[in-house]
Amino acid sequence: MSTKRQAIDSIRTKLNERTADSNYSNQFLYNSLIEQAKWLIKREISAGRIYSNTSLFQTLTSIEVVETSTIDECSPIKNNCKIYRSKNKIPDIWIDNSGPVTRAVTSVDGSTRFLLTTSNNWQNKKNDPYQKLSTAKYCFFANGYLWFPEHNPHYINVDAFFIDDISLIEDMCDGCNDKKECVRFLDTKFIVPDWTEAEMYAKAIEQIAGVTDKIQPDQQIDKNTNRKN
């Protein structure tokens, strides 16, 4: 699996073979690769080739869940007195048409499994009188957090197709110094299915060569990507 820097260098090399223009920034090239990776991953999920590949999934463990009020500006539900959410934002996860690509959300000991839904679907379930007979527990992603509308598991594990190597999130930084060893964002793994890499490069090159103006920078890729508050 290539690093982000290796992926950028690869596409830069391929572009130099096609055009004399080599003034593309790392951010621009990374964004173009991400744009192609998004639809390729959705396609591979629809074809059933993602969930069967365990090497793409990582488990984020012992995520603290805290109680918060529904007047919290981030809360997607406003008609309950209490709601629970992950204390910190969840690292970015690749998405498909159903939402973040997640295999399981469980209690830390694995004894309780939470079913993923959406805030709208949860509201519909809440209004369904037959829902009271169900013992299922639900959760949903919204505004970067993972929410639990009725039950507080206190700590949970999330098994998902994360965009970055979650083992290095705490160590990513922009400028390294003597006080802390860190890993530059571009030197972390570019976690995409390896069998899609050649097509991702080819499509990115086609887009850059033909419709460059449609690719817009949307993030500072050399900055610390730690999402925790």
Question: What mean pLDDT comes out for the span 173-200?
Answer: 77
Average pLDDT over residues 171-194: 70
Q: What DSSP string describes 154-179?
A: SEEEEEE-BSS-GGGGGGEESS-BTT
pLDDT for res 131: 65
pLDDT value at residue 213 = 43
Task: Please tell me the distance from the alpha carbon of residue 130 to that of residue 135, in angstroms, as a whole number.
Answer: 11
- What is the structure's pLDDT at 171? 52
Decide if pLDDT at 194 tops 80. yes
Please list, in sequence order, all residues whose beta carbon lies within 8 angstroms of the beta carbon of residue 146, skipping any fewer than 6 positions away.
63, 65, 85, 86, 90, 105, 139, 140, 156, 158
pLDDT surpasses 60 at 105 = yes
Domain residue ranges in the chain: 4-49+166-214, 58-160
pLDDT tens-digit map of 85-94: 999 999 999 9
Report pLDDT digits (tens) over 11-54: 888 887 655 556 788 999 999 999 999 999 999 999 999 998 99
At 13 the pLDDT is 87
Please state the pTM of the whole predicted model. Answer: 0.78
